[in-house]
Amino acid sequence: MKINLANIKKAKNLLNKSECIAIPTETVYGLAGNAYSDQACRKIFRLKKRPKNNPLIVHYYDLKKVKEDCILNDNFLKLYKKLSPGPITFILNLKTNSKISKIATNKKNTLAVRFPKHPVARSLLKKLKFPLAAPSANISSRLSAVTSNDVKDDFGKKIKYILEGGRSNIGVESTIIDLRKKPKILRLGGLDIKTIQKILRKKILININPSKISVPGQFKIHYSPGIPIRLNVKKIKKGEAYLMIKKKKIDKPNYFFLSKKGNLRESAKNLYSTLRKIKKNKYKSIAVSKIPNRGLGKTINDRLLRASKF
């Protein structure tokens, strides 16, 4: 992707004034503001209609700047070396003298840290004097945005600027891992857990449906396209859109495929855009055929299950 420096400059100027803009990342678009500014972070919560107790992910260019705000540990350094920049978010302890806005963290002493790989996001982060708080650029509990048009659909004129970055390559949010003690996955995402296990050379706890919800991102209802979803469907009902992982020989207007050949990575990339398309085509409900529960299929199933609780 060619980087348009005039656009980066415009984004930078707005962010310097504590404005809130949308930025592309390789996972999904983010609603970004200066993570050191209470004013900018308040705007993010307001625009997204996000509950105040749901802390924001903070995006950094590289390790150097994170050191100023967070306490690093061995597991983090191992994973950072192999996987950053990329679709993984690390939960770390904050330093007591960190400059991160208490609005962003909801006064928690931990921080979700991510290093996005998207060249436009990196070019912007490199030029800023502060990291960017950026939750996914969608109205709270709805589908994340994977194009600038998706962001426009959700926010219209309420958003000051959308930095163009094309379509997000991964298409689902980052995998979140808590590294404060024993590594623990808090959200399945764009990075396969097996890759993390190989690097740390151990099996990692998965805690994506805790009995006690520690952050609202773990709520059962989330990622909703705004219409009912039925899962593992073999026979659809009249008028339903049918979502399948692999292209079928017979083509019908209500059949939607996530991948031509049933590739799980490609399916994850197409998931949100296909759900948005079905909603736009005015279907009242979606039936989903079974999706293999391995690799990124696990992330797809996690999102569809939460979306089906709508």
Amino acid sitting at position 17: K
With CB under 5 to 8 Å by kind, the binding choice for 112 among Mg ion, ligand TXA, none is ligand TXA
The correct pick among 37, 136, 169, 301 for binding Mg ion (CB under 5 A) is 136
Under rule CB under 6 A, which residues in 234-293 are in contact with ligand TXA?
Answer: none
154, 36 contact by CB (below 8 A):
no
Say whether residue 136 binds ligand TXA (CB under 6 A).
yes
CA–CA gap between residue 2 and residue 75 (Å, rounded): 34
Name the residue nearer to Mg ion (CB basis): 75 or 136. 136
To ligand TXA, the closest distance from the beta carbon of 153 in angstroms equals 17
CA–CA gap between residue 50 and residue 117 (Å, rounded): 25
To Mg ion, the closest distance from the beta carbon of 128 in angstroms equals 22
For the four alpha carbons of 132, 69, 190 and 54, in that order, the dihedral sign comes to: negative
x/- mask, ligand TXA, residues 173-192, rule CB under 6 A, reads: xx-x---------x------
DSSP calls for 112-137: EEE----HHHHHHHHH-SS-EE--BS
Say whether residue 135 binds ligand TXA (CB under 6 A).
yes
x/- mask, ligand TXA, residues 81-120, rule CB under 6 A, reads: --------x-x----------------x-xxx-x------
To Mg ion, the closest distance from the beta carbon of 144 in angstroms equals 6
288, 267 contact by CB (below 8 A):
no
Helix (H, G, I), strand (E, B) or coil at 46: helix
Residues of this chain that bind Mg ion (CB under 5 A): 136
